[in-house]
Amino acid sequence: MRLPFSSTLFAFARPTAIRYTVVMARLAHFAIAAAPGFAILSWMQADPFAQAGHHLALSFVAGLLCVLVFNTFDMYGRDMFSNLLLIRRTFFAWSATFGLLMTLHQLSRFISPVPPQALVLWYLLSFGLFVLSRLVMLSFFQRRIRAGHFIQRSVIVGMTENAMRLAEQIHHRADVISGLIGYIDDRRSHRLHEAPPVALPRLGDIGALEQLIRDGRVDQVLVALPAQAHGRNEALAQRLRRLPVQVLLIPDMTTFRFAHRRMVPMGGVPMFVVAEPPLQGWSPLYKRCEDIVLSGLALLALSPLMLLIALAVKLESRGPVLFRQKRYGYNQRLIEVYKFRSMHHHLRDEHADRQTGRDDPRVTRVGRFIRKTSLDELPQLFNVLGGSMSMVGPRPHATATKAANVLFEDAVEEYVARHRVKPGITGLAQVNGYRGETDTIEKIQKRVEYDLEYIENWSLWLDLSILLRTVPAVLSAEAAY
């Protein structure tokens, strides 16, 4: 009986199925990169056959470059089967491919000049087809998962507490590569302490497992026997090494509660990463370039408004235009932060011993307006340009700031962890509604939660998203006094 295509994909030997899928994806990417270019270039010629050979050559080179660049961007790794965010990676990979293609074209001049509108249409159409093909692939894989079909069929040996944690993790993060079909345990059912957290059938004992492997119904064995059971583990390893199956030893799942799911070799021994500095590699340079460019442009664009605010502050009350305050910056170092003065100079609070509340008599009329609209923060653009702050990051707090009469660092255990990056003019907490007065412990807890989420997930795209959301967030906020 001949199986339909959707079934034959998983009827191969499992490593072959993965290679087959990757080959099909590469062929699809080659076609998506090449075919639209050939069609558009030919269509925009008065005589479609006049430059057909040259157009075909350019399209072929585009397809070849696409596969090579996509491979460099790790488009054909494990994420290919489950990660929707590959669409963002696809954008960068296709942009790099197209830029390289245009560079080669300019250097070689192997075809006649191409109309700019044809290039734009080619780029956009191919990118749209890449996204569509990605969504179709994910939809196909999700249907296979719901039907209980996986490229690798896995079983757990030993339904221990550690194994139950793993079963739950795999169930919630299912992808088409690996799926649990059951568990193996030599103990009788009444000796098992509790049922698995997900609907997982018991497939029998070790003898039954051997038969399942020989019948080609199991591709991967996950061993969850206790580490102290040295004899049983060694005997099981010797037994399974004789069979054509992949055997993996389950780590202590409790480690994942406080460690990243990434391992690094140390002296040849793999170790879990518990913590590491954020913004590694080129990321600090990218963020610094972002800060210099955006703060410089903002200062140029907003300088007339800043001059008007300075004049209004000066005319209303005596004292300097700017208010300088010591706040915690990167690595908990004290930095001097600039703001437009919003309080009467003789009532200023340099250490923020008392937070500003509604109808605070210390705040001037101009100060009330610029605090409500966050215009008092504009001088912090000079902090960004000078390097002590960033455009986006956790907001810097003064040394004596409190929530419900409790110092921030005492109110939240992980508060100091937010100082692993430079503070920012705006941040993820602010655009999610947490700006202004922190009169309760819950408010500072939520701020820290958002700050740590930002640090763990930083990207230029996230910064741009926060900056675009800042103005609406400021205009809709009611908690700033």
CA–CA distance, 131 with 247 (Å, rounded to integer): 36
- Give the Å distances, CA to CA, from 256 to 165, 220, 264: 10, 22, 15
237 vs 226: CA distance, rounded Å: 14
Distance of CA 51 to CAs 58, 68, 167, 432, Å? 11, 26, 59, 55
Residue type, 7: S
* Gap between the Cα atoms of 220 and 238, Å rounded: 16
Residues 121-174: tens digit of each pLDDT: 999 999 999 999 888 887 877 777 677 666 677 888 888 877 887 787 777 666
For 18, 108, 428, 436, 453, the CA distances from 414, given in Å and listed in that order, are 42, 57, 17, 21, 12
Q: Provide the 10 A C-beta neighbour count for residue 196.
A: 19
CA-CA-CA-CA dihedral for 383, 385, 391, 395, to nearest 10: -10
Q: Which residue has the tokens 């703001």?
A: 339
**Contact status, residue 172 vs residue 198, Cβ threshold 8 Å:** no
- Taking the C-alpha atoms of residue 439 and residue 448, their distance in angstroms, rounded to an integer, is 15
The answer to whether 184 and 208 are in contact (CB under 8 A) is yes
- Cα-flanking dihedrals φ and ψ of residue 354, to 5°? -130, 120
Intervals of the chain under pLDDT 50: 1-13, 190
Helices (H), 267-347: 283-316
Which pLDDT score, from 0 to 100, does residue 477 have?
59
Count the neighbouring beta carbons within 10 Å of the beta carbon of residue 397. 22
**Would you state the pLDDT for residue 139?**
80
pLDDT value of residue 388: 93
The secondary element (H helix, E strand) that includes residue 337 is strand 334-340
Tokens describing residue 385: 């340009």
Alpha-carbon span 288 to 47, nearest angstrom: 51
So what's the pLDDT on residue 256?
A: 66
Amino acid at residue number 14 = R
- Distance between CA 395 and CA 250 in Å, rounded? 41
- State the Cα–Cα distance between residues 455 and 435, nearest whole angstrom: 18
Q: Residue 312: its pLDDT value, please?
A: 94
For residue 10, what pLDDT is reported? 40
Structure token digits, residue 103? 């560079």
Output the 3-class SS for 415-472: HHHHHHCCCEEECHHHHCCCCCCCCCHHHHHHHHHHHHHHHHCCCHHHHHHHHHHHHH
Asked whether the CA dihedral 36, 38, 43, 45 is positive or negative, the reply is: positive
What residue type is 142 in one-letter code?
Q
Residue identified by tokens 């994806």 is 25
Per-residue confidence (pLDDT) for residue 7, from 0 to 100: 38
Give pLDDT tens digits for 243-276.
Answer: 888 888 877 767 666 666 567 777 676 777 776 7
Least Cα distance to 437 among 352, 367, 365 occurs for 352
